[in-house]
Amino acid sequence: MVEFAARQKIEILRLPDLLDMQSIDAEIELRPIKLEDLLQRPPVRLDAPKIASMIRGKIVMITGAGGSIGSELARQVADLNPHSLILVDASESALYAIKSELSQKRRSMKIHAALCNVREKHAVSNIVESHSPQVLFHAAALKHVPMVEAQPLEGIFTNAIGTRNVAEAALRAKVSKMIMVSTDKAVNPANVMGATKRMAEMYCQALDLDSKINATRFITVRFGNVLGSAGSVVPLFEQQIKCGGPVTVTHPEIERFFMTIPEACLLVLQAAAHNPAQQEERGRIFVLDMGSPVKIVDLARNLIRLSGRRPDTEIRIAYTGLRPGEKLYEELFDSNETLSQTEAPGILEANARSIERAMIVRIFDEMQRMIDAQDIQGALRLLKSTVAEFTPGADIHLLMGRKSSTAP
Protein backbone atom coordinates (compact mmCIF):
# COMPACT_ATOMS: atom_id res chain seq x y z
CA MET A 1 0.00 0.00 0.00
CA VAL A 2 2.82 2.39 0.91
CA GLU A 3 4.60 1.61 -2.38
CA PHE A 4 1.40 2.16 -4.42
CA ALA A 5 0.68 5.45 -2.64
CA ALA A 6 4.24 6.64 -3.27
CA ARG A 7 3.90 5.91 -7.00
CA GLN A 8 0.57 7.77 -7.16
CA LYS A 9 1.81 10.67 -4.96
CA ILE A 10 -0.96 9.91 -2.43
CA GLU A 11 -0.49 10.60 1.28
CA ILE A 12 -1.55 7.74 3.57
CA LEU A 13 -3.16 8.58 6.91
CA ARG A 14 -4.12 6.16 9.67
CA LEU A 15 -6.71 6.03 12.42
CA PRO A 16 -5.66 6.26 16.07
CA ASP A 17 -5.30 3.05 18.09
CA LEU A 18 -8.57 1.52 19.29
CA LEU A 19 -7.64 2.23 22.91
CA ASP A 20 -7.53 5.93 22.08
CA MET A 21 -11.00 5.77 20.49
CA GLN A 22 -12.89 4.16 23.39
CA SER A 23 -14.41 7.37 24.70
CA ILE A 24 -17.57 8.60 22.95
CA ASP A 25 -16.25 12.15 23.22
CA ALA A 26 -12.84 11.25 21.85
CA GLU A 27 -11.87 13.37 18.88
CA ILE A 28 -10.73 11.13 16.04
CA GLU A 29 -7.71 12.55 14.28
CA LEU A 30 -6.07 10.92 11.32
CA ARG A 31 -2.29 11.01 11.38
CA PRO A 32 0.49 10.27 8.89
CA ILE A 33 1.99 6.78 8.79
CA LYS A 34 5.15 6.65 10.90
CA LEU A 35 8.12 4.35 10.55
CA GLU A 36 7.25 2.53 13.79
CA ASP A 37 3.87 1.59 12.26
CA LEU A 38 5.80 -0.59 9.80
CA LEU A 39 7.65 -2.58 12.50
CA GLN A 40 4.54 -4.78 12.84
CA ARG A 41 5.21 -5.76 16.44
CA PRO A 42 2.40 -6.48 18.92
CA PRO A 43 1.86 -3.81 21.59
CA VAL A 44 3.73 -4.17 24.87
CA ARG A 45 1.65 -5.79 27.64
CA LEU A 46 2.50 -4.23 30.98
CA ASP A 47 2.11 -5.26 34.58
CA ALA A 48 0.82 -1.77 35.34
CA PRO A 49 0.03 -2.27 39.07
CA LYS A 50 3.52 -3.60 39.83
CA ILE A 51 5.21 -0.77 37.90
CA ALA A 52 3.03 1.86 39.57
CA SER A 53 3.74 0.52 43.07
CA MET A 54 7.49 0.63 42.36
CA ILE A 55 7.35 4.36 41.54
CA ARG A 56 4.33 5.90 43.29
CA GLY A 57 5.35 8.00 46.28
CA LYS A 58 9.05 7.13 45.85
CA ILE A 59 12.09 9.36 45.38
CA VAL A 60 13.39 8.50 41.90
CA MET A 61 16.72 9.52 40.34
CA ILE A 62 17.64 9.25 36.66
CA THR A 63 21.19 9.73 35.35
CA GLY A 64 21.54 10.71 31.70
CA ALA A 65 18.12 12.34 32.12
CA GLY A 66 18.69 14.69 29.19
CA GLY A 67 19.32 11.91 26.68
CA SER A 68 16.85 10.10 24.44
CA ILE A 69 16.22 7.19 26.82
CA GLY A 70 16.73 9.14 30.05
CA SER A 71 14.29 11.90 29.12
CA GLU A 72 11.56 9.44 28.07
CA LEU A 73 12.11 7.50 31.30
CA ALA A 74 11.68 10.79 33.16
CA ARG A 75 8.37 11.46 31.38
CA GLN A 76 7.03 7.99 32.11
CA VAL A 77 8.18 8.04 35.73
CA ALA A 78 6.60 11.48 36.23
CA ASP A 79 3.27 10.05 35.01
CA LEU A 80 3.42 7.46 37.82
CA ASN A 81 3.38 10.10 40.59
CA PRO A 82 6.69 9.70 42.40
CA HIS A 83 7.27 11.70 45.57
CA SER A 84 10.07 13.55 43.78
CA LEU A 85 12.20 13.21 40.67
CA ILE A 86 15.92 13.98 40.53
CA LEU A 87 17.28 14.50 37.01
CA VAL A 88 21.05 14.14 36.57
CA ASP A 89 22.96 14.97 33.39
CA ALA A 90 26.29 16.43 32.26
CA SER A 91 24.65 18.51 29.51
CA GLU A 92 23.33 21.82 30.80
CA SER A 93 21.02 22.45 27.83
CA ALA A 94 19.57 18.92 27.77
CA LEU A 95 19.01 18.96 31.53
CA TYR A 96 17.34 22.37 31.37
CA ALA A 97 15.04 21.19 28.56
CA ILE A 98 13.69 18.11 30.34
CA LYS A 99 13.42 19.92 33.69
CA SER A 100 11.43 22.75 32.05
CA GLU A 101 9.17 20.33 30.18
CA LEU A 102 8.29 18.27 33.25
CA SER A 103 7.94 21.28 35.56
CA GLN A 104 5.42 22.76 33.12
CA LYS A 105 3.37 19.56 33.00
CA ARG A 106 3.73 18.58 36.68
CA ARG A 107 3.59 21.84 38.58
CA SER A 108 3.00 20.21 41.97
CA MET A 109 5.75 17.61 41.63
CA LYS A 110 9.15 18.12 43.23
CA ILE A 111 11.62 18.01 40.36
CA HIS A 112 15.31 18.67 40.94
CA ALA A 113 17.97 19.11 38.25
CA ALA A 114 21.56 18.19 39.13
CA LEU A 115 24.31 19.11 36.67
CA CYS A 116 26.84 16.33 37.12
CA ASN A 117 29.11 14.04 35.12
CA VAL A 118 29.02 10.43 36.34
CA ARG A 119 32.82 10.35 35.99
CA GLU A 120 33.06 12.66 39.01
CA LYS A 121 33.04 10.18 41.88
CA HIS A 122 32.62 12.67 44.74
CA ALA A 123 30.00 14.76 42.95
CA VAL A 124 27.95 11.64 42.17
CA SER A 125 28.25 10.47 45.77
CA ASN A 126 27.15 13.85 47.13
CA ILE A 127 24.09 14.03 44.86
CA VAL A 128 22.94 10.48 45.61
CA GLU A 129 23.48 10.79 49.35
CA SER A 130 21.86 14.23 49.63
CA HIS A 131 18.67 13.16 47.79
CA SER A 132 18.50 9.55 49.09
CA PRO A 133 16.59 8.08 46.13
CA GLN A 134 14.77 4.80 46.57
CA VAL A 135 14.91 3.93 42.87
CA LEU A 136 17.80 4.94 40.59
CA PHE A 137 17.81 4.55 36.80
CA HIS A 138 21.33 4.77 35.34
CA ALA A 139 21.04 5.79 31.67
CA ALA A 140 24.13 8.03 31.38
CA ALA A 141 26.56 6.69 28.78
CA LEU A 142 28.58 7.40 25.67
CA LYS A 143 26.80 5.40 22.97
CA HIS A 144 28.18 6.30 19.53
CA VAL A 145 30.43 3.48 18.37
CA PRO A 146 32.73 5.48 16.02
CA MET A 147 33.26 8.26 18.59
CA VAL A 148 34.19 5.84 21.37
CA GLU A 149 36.32 3.78 18.98
CA ALA A 150 38.34 6.92 18.20
CA GLN A 151 38.57 7.97 21.88
CA PRO A 152 38.52 4.73 23.89
CA LEU A 153 39.60 6.19 27.24
CA GLU A 154 36.58 8.50 27.18
CA GLY A 155 34.25 5.55 26.68
CA ILE A 156 35.89 3.48 29.40
CA PHE A 157 35.80 6.41 31.84
CA THR A 158 32.13 7.23 31.29
CA ASN A 159 30.59 3.82 30.66
CA ALA A 160 32.59 1.60 33.01
CA ILE A 161 34.04 3.85 35.73
CA GLY A 162 30.95 6.10 35.64
CA THR A 163 28.73 3.09 36.30
CA ARG A 164 30.97 2.06 39.21
CA ASN A 165 30.68 5.57 40.68
CA VAL A 166 26.88 5.52 40.49
CA ALA A 167 26.61 1.94 41.80
CA GLU A 168 28.88 2.53 44.80
CA ALA A 169 27.02 5.75 45.64
CA ALA A 170 23.74 3.82 45.47
CA LEU A 171 25.18 1.21 47.81
CA ARG A 172 26.32 3.77 50.38
CA ALA A 173 22.98 5.60 50.25
CA LYS A 174 21.06 2.31 50.63
CA VAL A 175 19.10 2.87 47.43
CA SER A 176 16.48 0.12 47.19
CA LYS A 177 17.02 -0.58 43.50
CA MET A 178 19.45 0.59 40.81
CA ILE A 179 18.59 -0.17 37.19
CA MET A 180 21.37 0.08 34.61
CA VAL A 181 20.41 0.57 30.97
CA SER A 182 22.68 -1.57 28.78
CA THR A 183 22.85 -2.49 25.10
CA ASP A 184 22.94 -5.48 22.77
CA LYS A 185 26.38 -4.20 21.71
CA ALA A 186 27.66 -5.63 25.02
CA VAL A 187 27.12 -9.13 23.59
CA ASN A 188 30.26 -10.48 21.89
CA PRO A 189 31.41 -6.86 21.52
CA ALA A 190 33.33 -5.88 18.40
CA ASN A 191 33.90 -2.31 19.57
CA VAL A 192 35.08 -0.45 22.66
CA MET A 193 31.63 0.97 23.42
CA GLY A 194 30.10 -2.50 23.64
CA ALA A 195 33.00 -3.83 25.70
CA THR A 196 32.72 -0.95 28.20
CA LYS A 197 29.00 -1.62 28.61
CA ARG A 198 29.72 -5.32 29.21
CA MET A 199 32.28 -4.30 31.83
CA ALA A 200 29.62 -2.10 33.47
CA GLU A 201 27.18 -5.04 33.40
CA MET A 202 29.76 -7.21 35.15
CA TYR A 203 30.23 -4.66 37.93
CA CYS A 204 26.49 -4.47 38.59
CA GLN A 205 26.23 -8.27 38.45
CA ALA A 206 28.98 -8.64 41.05
CA LEU A 207 27.26 -6.23 43.44
CA ASP A 208 23.90 -7.94 42.96
CA LEU A 209 25.42 -11.37 43.61
CA ASP A 210 27.21 -10.33 46.81
CA SER A 211 25.16 -11.98 49.56
CA LYS A 212 26.55 -9.49 52.11
CA ILE A 213 24.68 -6.70 50.33
CA ASN A 214 21.01 -6.75 51.25
CA ALA A 215 19.97 -3.11 50.98
CA THR A 216 20.36 -2.56 47.23
CA ARG A 217 19.33 -4.63 44.20
CA PHE A 218 21.31 -4.05 41.00
CA ILE A 219 19.33 -4.75 37.84
CA THR A 220 20.70 -4.61 34.30
CA VAL A 221 18.40 -4.23 31.29
CA ARG A 222 19.81 -4.85 27.82
CA PHE A 223 18.15 -3.79 24.56
CA GLY A 224 18.95 -2.78 20.98
CA ASN A 225 18.60 0.35 18.88
CA VAL A 226 15.79 2.81 19.48
CA LEU A 227 14.08 4.60 16.61
CA GLY A 228 14.63 8.33 16.52
CA SER A 229 17.21 8.60 19.29
CA ALA A 230 19.80 11.36 19.00
CA GLY A 231 22.42 10.47 16.41
CA SER A 232 20.63 7.31 15.24
CA VAL A 233 20.12 6.36 11.60
CA VAL A 234 16.51 7.54 11.31
CA PRO A 235 17.14 11.30 11.81
CA LEU A 236 20.18 10.98 9.53
CA PHE A 237 18.15 9.26 6.80
CA GLU A 238 15.36 11.82 7.11
CA GLN A 239 17.85 14.65 6.64
CA GLN A 240 19.43 12.93 3.64
CA ILE A 241 16.00 12.36 2.06
CA LYS A 242 15.10 16.00 2.66
CA CYS A 243 18.26 17.00 0.78
CA GLY A 244 17.40 14.71 -2.14
CA GLY A 245 19.77 11.88 -1.23
CA PRO A 246 21.71 9.78 -1.46
CA VAL A 247 20.77 7.85 1.68
CA THR A 248 23.95 6.25 3.02
CA VAL A 249 23.91 2.69 4.38
CA THR A 250 27.15 1.05 5.47
CA HIS A 251 26.40 -2.45 4.11
CA PRO A 252 23.50 -4.10 2.20
CA GLU A 253 23.25 -6.92 4.78
CA ILE A 254 23.61 -4.93 8.00
CA GLU A 255 20.68 -5.41 10.38
CA ARG A 256 19.65 -4.25 13.83
CA PHE A 257 17.00 -4.81 16.48
CA PHE A 258 14.73 -1.79 16.79
CA MET A 259 12.20 -0.42 19.26
CA THR A 260 10.54 2.92 19.71
CA ILE A 261 11.85 5.02 22.59
CA PRO A 262 8.56 4.88 24.58
CA GLU A 263 8.32 1.11 24.06
CA ALA A 264 11.91 0.55 25.25
CA CYS A 265 11.36 2.69 28.36
CA LEU A 266 8.12 0.90 29.23
CA LEU A 267 9.97 -2.41 29.13
CA VAL A 268 12.80 -1.00 31.25
CA LEU A 269 10.17 -0.12 33.86
CA GLN A 270 8.65 -3.58 33.48
CA ALA A 271 12.03 -5.25 34.06
CA ALA A 272 12.78 -2.96 36.99
CA ALA A 273 9.53 -3.99 38.67
CA HIS A 274 10.51 -7.66 38.50
CA ASN A 275 11.76 -8.81 41.92
CA PRO A 276 13.67 -12.11 41.92
CA ALA A 277 13.34 -13.50 45.42
CA GLN A 278 15.98 -16.23 45.39
CA GLN A 279 19.74 -15.73 45.64
CA GLU A 280 20.29 -17.89 42.55
CA GLU A 281 18.18 -15.44 40.54
CA ARG A 282 20.47 -12.53 41.35
CA GLY A 283 23.07 -11.20 38.94
CA ARG A 284 21.04 -12.03 35.87
CA ILE A 285 20.58 -9.63 32.99
CA PHE A 286 17.15 -8.76 31.70
CA VAL A 287 16.89 -8.71 27.92
CA LEU A 288 14.02 -6.95 26.19
CA ASP A 289 12.26 -9.00 23.54
CA MET A 290 13.11 -6.89 20.49
CA GLY A 291 11.23 -8.99 17.96
CA SER A 292 13.00 -9.74 14.68
CA PRO A 293 15.99 -7.74 13.42
CA VAL A 294 15.43 -5.26 10.60
CA LYS A 295 17.77 -4.69 7.66
CA ILE A 296 18.97 -1.09 7.66
CA VAL A 297 18.52 -0.86 3.90
CA ASP A 298 14.85 -1.89 4.30
CA LEU A 299 14.49 0.81 6.95
CA ALA A 300 15.97 3.34 4.52
CA ARG A 301 13.67 2.27 1.69
CA ASN A 302 10.58 2.48 3.93
CA LEU A 303 11.55 5.99 5.02
CA ILE A 304 11.99 7.03 1.39
CA ARG A 305 8.55 5.62 0.54
CA LEU A 306 6.96 7.38 3.53
CA SER A 307 8.38 10.65 2.18
CA GLY A 308 6.39 10.09 -1.04
CA ARG A 309 9.42 9.19 -3.13
CA ARG A 310 10.67 5.97 -4.69
CA PRO A 311 13.89 4.33 -3.47
CA ASP A 312 16.68 3.64 -5.97
CA THR A 313 15.06 5.86 -8.61
CA GLU A 314 14.07 9.20 -7.08
CA ILE A 315 16.31 8.75 -4.02
CA ARG A 316 19.51 6.75 -4.42
CA ILE A 317 20.93 4.45 -1.72
CA ALA A 318 24.73 4.50 -1.43
CA TYR A 319 26.77 1.87 0.42
CA THR A 320 29.72 3.33 2.31
CA GLY A 321 31.32 0.29 3.99
CA LEU A 322 31.29 -0.84 7.62
CA ARG A 323 32.72 1.67 10.07
CA PRO A 324 35.42 0.76 12.63
CA GLY A 325 33.90 -1.43 15.34
CA GLU A 326 30.64 -1.98 13.44
CA LYS A 327 29.11 -5.47 13.18
CA LEU A 328 26.82 -6.77 10.44
CA TYR A 329 24.35 -7.94 13.07
CA GLU A 330 23.82 -7.62 16.81
CA GLU A 331 22.90 -10.32 19.32
CA LEU A 332 20.79 -9.98 22.46
CA PHE A 333 22.68 -12.76 24.25
CA ASP A 334 25.69 -14.96 23.49
CA SER A 335 26.05 -18.74 23.26
CA ASN A 336 27.35 -18.98 26.84
CA GLU A 337 24.33 -17.23 28.33
CA THR A 338 21.36 -19.34 29.39
CA LEU A 339 18.18 -17.56 28.34
CA SER A 340 14.80 -18.01 30.01
CA GLN A 341 11.39 -16.33 29.94
CA THR A 342 10.39 -14.31 33.00
CA GLU A 343 6.88 -13.90 34.36
CA ALA A 344 6.93 -10.38 32.90
CA PRO A 345 5.69 -10.18 29.28
CA GLY A 346 8.36 -9.03 26.84
CA ILE A 347 11.23 -9.64 29.28
CA LEU A 348 13.78 -12.44 28.90
CA GLU A 349 16.48 -13.30 31.42
CA ALA A 350 20.11 -14.14 30.65
CA ASN A 351 22.33 -15.97 33.13
CA ALA A 352 25.54 -14.25 32.05
CA ARG A 353 29.13 -14.87 33.14
CA SER A 354 30.06 -12.90 36.25
CA ILE A 355 33.17 -12.08 38.29
CA GLU A 356 33.40 -12.19 42.08
CA ARG A 357 33.07 -8.73 43.64
CA ALA A 358 36.58 -8.45 45.12
CA MET A 359 38.12 -9.28 41.74
CA ILE A 360 36.01 -6.82 39.74
CA VAL A 361 36.78 -4.06 42.26
CA ARG A 362 40.53 -4.67 41.78
CA ILE A 363 40.10 -4.57 37.99
CA PHE A 364 38.20 -1.28 38.15
CA ASP A 365 40.78 0.22 40.53
CA GLU A 366 43.52 -0.69 38.05
CA MET A 367 41.47 0.73 35.19
CA GLN A 368 41.05 4.02 37.06
CA ARG A 369 44.84 4.23 37.50
CA MET A 370 45.35 3.70 33.78
CA ILE A 371 42.81 6.40 32.93
CA ASP A 372 44.51 8.81 35.33
CA ALA A 373 47.84 8.05 33.61
CA GLN A 374 46.23 8.30 30.12
CA ASP A 375 47.58 4.81 29.44
CA ILE A 376 45.48 3.87 26.40
CA GLN A 377 47.42 0.69 25.66
CA GLY A 378 47.15 -0.61 29.23
CA ALA A 379 43.47 0.31 29.54
CA LEU A 380 42.56 -1.47 26.30
CA ARG A 381 44.53 -4.57 27.25
CA LEU A 382 42.76 -4.67 30.61
CA LEU A 383 39.41 -4.20 28.89
CA LYS A 384 40.19 -7.13 26.59
CA SER A 385 41.32 -9.40 29.43
CA THR A 386 38.21 -8.56 31.48
CA VAL A 387 35.74 -8.93 28.61
CA ALA A 388 37.18 -12.08 27.06
CA GLU A 389 34.62 -12.15 24.24
CA PHE A 390 35.69 -8.67 23.03
CA THR A 391 37.12 -8.87 19.48
CA PRO A 392 38.77 -5.50 18.75
CA GLY A 393 39.13 -4.15 15.24
CA ALA A 394 42.43 -3.39 13.54
CA ASP A 395 42.65 0.22 14.79
CA ILE A 396 42.14 -0.82 18.42
CA HIS A 397 44.68 -3.65 18.02
CA LEU A 398 47.21 -1.04 16.91
CA LEU A 399 46.51 1.03 20.02
CA MET A 400 46.94 -2.12 22.11
CA GLY A 401 50.31 -2.71 20.47
CA ARG A 402 49.16 -6.01 19.01
CA LYS A 403 48.71 -7.28 15.47
CA SER A 404 45.06 -7.76 14.50
CA SER A 405 43.99 -11.26 13.50
CA THR A 406 41.64 -9.61 11.00
CA ALA A 407 44.20 -7.19 9.58
CA PRO A 408 45.47 -7.82 6.04
Q: Is 185 a catalytic residue?
A: yes
User: Looking at 99-151, which runs of residues are DSSP E strands?
Assistant: 110-115, 135-138
Give, for 55, the enclosing helix (H) or strand (E): helix 48-55
Let me know how long the chain is. Answer: 408
Residue 196's contacts (CB-CB under 8 Å, 6 or more residues apart) are 148, 155, 156, 158, 159, 160, 383
Using alpha carbons, select from 282, 284, 232 the residue that is nearest to residue 257: 232
Distance CA 66, CA 72 (A): 9
* Catalytic residue, candidates 177, 185, 327, 384: 185
Residue 295: strand pairing partners: 255
Look up residue 70 and give its amino acid: G
Distance CA 138, CA 115 (A): 15
- Backbone angles phi and psi of 184, in degrees to 5: -65, -15
Active site residues: 185
